[in-house]
Amino acid sequence: MPLTGIAIFKLLPKTNCGECGVPTCLAFAMNLAAGKAELTACPYVSEEAKAQLSEAAAPPITPVTIGVGDRALKVGGETVMFRHEKRFENPPGFAILITDTMDEPEVDARLKRFSELQYERVGLTLRPELVAVKDEAGEATKFEALVSQVKQKSDGGIILMSTNPDILAAGLKACADRKPLLYAATRDNLERLAELAKENSCPIAVKASSLEELAELTTKLTESGIKDIILDSGARSLRRAFEDQIWIRSAALNRKFRPLGFPTIVFPGEMTDDPMKESVIASMFVAKYGGIIVLSDFQGESLFPLLVERMNIYTDPQRPLATTEGIYEIGGPDENSPVLLTSNFSLTYFIVSGEIEASKVPSYLLVKDTEGLSVMTAWAAGKFVADIIAPFVKKCGIDDRIKHHKLVIPGYAAAESGGLEEELPGWEIQVGPREGSRIPAYLKAWKP
């Protein structure tokens, strides 16, 4: 039985020192009981209490890692139903499907897309993480050869898909060192797959035809000592698959039901034959609550929106993404290059710097720390106004890099131009465009 908040409180030091991020031990105990805090956040818990609290301290959804090294994917570990309560922790992984009945050029084309489709956005690299290799031919040697090929030509994580333990064993021969996910244990093959997972220290997916059966199978696996489990509820209709995701998350978080406290795997491609619908279904599982999303295929135009959606859902809604304050050189500027100013909201920075780059006019971009707020919000909050911007311009060192004294401020901060000319004697304040898309034309016409 999980411990109540009061039972946990009795085991805490009761000094109310606040080092765990909340003001009192009671508040920390309540968060721990609700799965919204980790025991490691309190540095003063005795070893004896730690032992007693281990169950309460375990994350309600076990984190599971697939793969090794830099490309390892960690899923699960979630503690909330909704991201306004607290951030979602581990973004779902996207997988591309390859089967042993595909011809060589198709396999190569998919592996090429898997490796090459990656995008830089707000300083992050967005890309898919997994290749799902599926047995359709029923031939162990053929499967093993395909897995070898996937391993050689991609550095991502691998999902081995078959219900035949001998075929999975053949796949493992080729890639056990990559710690692949074994998909899937069912009522019929559970014991043999559990052995394979234990022998190779690999995570294992369980597939059932109902949530009750799923809970029964995961209980057997955990009793045999396996902890790294991924859930497939077996639902392939949109409505049931969606409901199952909600039930699984809710059972794990709200009812502390351990047998369903694991990340999930979903297959949008098995719910429709239409690639557009598949993408829409996949996007639903990004929000609710897919752990691994296996796509039957992807192209840039279907993958990119999913990657961006995932990034947006898994950022911390309470902490804006921010860029470091300073001078950014774009395109090798010199002493006659324009100097533009913007806020340090990452999206603003990447849009403005991208437009400057696109203009091919080498420029300096001054990024003022506005605590991650966009230009208009920062201006309205009094964080992007003349008497705050001027000391930054004086101190940042741009003066030593240019001959002219012209500063281009964002159009949305035009009201600060007079104040800035007073605060920055000798500088000419120029009002730039309001919209980033107009920056290239503006810079091309700009004169020192």
CA 249 to CA 265: how far, in whole Å?
A: 13
19 binds ligand SF4, rule: CB under 6 A? yes
CB 283 within 8 A of CB 305: yes
CB of 9 to ligand SF4, least distance (A): 9
6 binds ligand SF4, rule: CB under 6 A? no
| Residue among 334, 324, 352 nearest 408 (CA) | 352
CB of 435 to ligand SF4, least distance (A): 47
| Token pair listed for 437 | 């898309």
CB 115 within 8 A of CB 154: yes
46 binds ligand SF4, rule: CB under 6 A? no
448 binds ligand SF4, rule: CB under 6 A? no
Burial string for 38-54 (b: 16+ CB within 10 Å, else e) reads ebeebeebeeebeebbe
- Residue closer to ligand SF4 by CB (options 28, 242) is 28
CB of 33 to ligand SF4, least distance (A): 13
CB 203 within 8 A of CB 222: no
Cα-based angle 402, 404, 407 (whole degrees, multiple of 5): 90
Name the segment binding ligand SF4 (CB under 6 A); options: 17-25, 62-70, 354-362, 418-426.
17-25
Beta-strand runs (E) in 263-380: 265-266, 292-295, 326-330, 339-343, 363-368
Helix (H, G, I), strand (E, B) or coil at 17: coil
Per-state percent for the chain, helix, strand, coil, to nearest 5: 45, 15, 40
Number of residues in contact with ligand SF4 under rule CB under 6 A: 13
CB of 54 to ligand SF4, least distance (A): 16
122 binds ligand SF4, rule: CB under 6 A? no
- Residue closer to ligand SF4 by CB (options 18, 331) is 18
18 binds ligand SF4, rule: CB under 6 A? yes
CB 25 within 8 A of CB 9: yes
CB 367 within 8 A of CB 349: yes
CB of 395 to ligand SF4, least distance (A): 38
CA 434 to CA 409: how far, in whole Å?
A: 10
CA 56 to CA 1: how far, in whole Å?
A: 9
40 binds ligand SF4, rule: CB under 6 A? no
| Token pair listed for 75 | 């899923």
Among 3, 8, 11, 25, binds ligand SF4 (CB under 6 A): 25
20 binds ligand SF4, rule: CB under 6 A? yes
CB of 20 to ligand SF4, least distance (A): 3
42 binds ligand SF4, rule: CB under 6 A? yes
H or E segment at 230?
A: strand 229-232
CA 167 to CA 170: how far, in whole Å?
A: 5
- Residue closer to ligand SF4 by CB (options 12, 206) is 12
Among 11, 28, 146, 292, binds ligand SF4 (CB under 6 A): 28
CB of 29 to ligand SF4, least distance (A): 7
Name the segment binding ligand SF4 (CB under 6 A); options: 10-18, 55-63, 171-179, 391-399.
10-18
CB of 21 to ligand SF4, least distance (A): 8
CB of 2 to ligand SF4, least distance (A): 18
Name the segment binding ligand SF4 (CB under 6 A); options: 8-16, 191-199, 353-361, 399-407.
8-16
CB 278 within 8 A of CB 271: yes
Among 3, 11, 12, 271, binds ligand SF4 (CB under 6 A): 12
17 binds ligand SF4, rule: CB under 6 A? yes
Residues that bind ligand SF4 (CB under 6 A): 12-13, 15-20, 24-25, 28, 42, 44
